[in-house]
Amino acid sequence: MTTPGELVFVAPKAKRPPQHLADLDPAERANLARELNVPAFRIEQIAHHYFERFEIDPDVMTDLPAADRKQWIEAVLPMLLTPVHTITCDNETTAKQLWRLHDGVMVESVVMRYPERATVCISSQAGCGMNCPFCATGQAGLTRNLSTGEIVDQVVAAARLLQEGGVGGSPVRLSNVVFMGMGEPLANYKAVMGALRRLTDKDSHGLGLSRRSITVSTVGLVPRIDQLIEENLPVRLAVSLHAPDDELRDTLVPVNTRWKVSEVLEAADRYSRSTGRRYSIEYALIRDINDQGWRADMFAWFT
């Protein structure tokens, strides 16, 4: 439901990605079992392989009947992300992965290994409609929203890569997820909420990650921040501010013409009070644009 004056972000229509286990909540998974005429406990076994072992290869799922395995996996875990290219840097502790989706659209995710944690930065949209002039993704515009499955599958792929020792040279568990890749997560609200539930649900219903280890970054879609408060999903919130004054922020983050700096920070304060989570502020320093001392003072005064 929209309120008068609220901007509505409409993604271009595209052929929907294939339905994937990660798109479904437990009730929908039971429906899928009935549709496929597969015993429900078999779907749960597949979910265990996918969410807890990050496994997608039917050949190693030896607890499933050999005659049905391949066909079931094709139906329940269709290939959503095809790897195109991986670049490693920072002494092999960072891996930037480029994926092709079912319709040829490309998205990126980045896996980062630190001494005390392993983080994946994921995309929530292909492109972005927010049009921030300093951002290459924004300049290309929005191609389409990602599905819940396409978002979750980036995380599962990162967890698998880390488990195999593919980043930093030794196996490690994925600990953190940040929605800071391509797209504005709160403009793809429904799919991102589904992804947050799959990432935090436990016992083969999801990856069982801690809510405090997940960060959703937004340019400040105020009604969606308020909606997120109601979800009972107290993940961390990050606000991409980039300027403390409306005059400059109107140009750096064009959605500021709709929700001003003070409104965005008030919404973040409401989120913080309601969830008990401190929020963070992102500020990309751009030489001679937003790096003046008086803006730093203004920023400090706000926070």
Question: Residues interacting with ligand SF4, by CB under 6 A?
Answer: 128, 130-132, 135, 137-138, 182-184, 219
Quote the least distance from Cβ 46 to ligand SF4, whole Å.
Answer: 34
The nearer residue to ligand SF4, 97 or 204, going by C-beta atoms, is: 97
Distance CA 142, CA 145 (A): 8
Residue nearest to ligand SF4 (CB): 138
Quote the least distance from Cβ 186 to ligand SF4, whole Å.
Answer: 10
3-state secondary structure 13-77: CCCCCCCCHHHCCHHHHHHHHHHHCCCHHHHHHHHHHHHHHCCCCHHHCCCCCCCCHHHHHHHHC
What six digits make up the tokens of 157? Answer: 């792929």
CA 264 to chain centre: 21
The nearer residue to ligand SF4, 182 or 267, going by C-beta atoms, is: 182
Q: How many residues does the chain have?
A: 303
Quote the least distance from Cβ 24 to ligand SF4, whole Å.
Answer: 28
The nearer residue to ligand SF4, 19 or 131, going by C-beta atoms, is: 131
Helix extents (H) in the chain: 26-36, 40-47, 53, 69-76, 136-140, 148-163, 189-200, 222-229, 246-252, 261-275, 293-302
Q: Which residues pair with 85 in a beta bridge?
A: 98
What six digits make up the tokens of 282? Answer: 């992102």
Quote the least distance from Cβ 171 to ligand SF4, whole Å.
Answer: 31
Quote the least distance from Cβ 140 to ligand SF4, whole Å.
Answer: 9
The nearer residue to ligand SF4, 64 or 284, going by C-beta atoms, is: 284
The nearer residue to ligand SF4, 137 or 200, going by C-beta atoms, is: 137
Quote the least distance from Cβ 238 to ligand SF4, whole Å.
Answer: 11
Q: Which residue in this structure is represented by tokens 């644009």? A: 289
Q: Which residue in this structure is represented by tokens 């993604």? A: 11
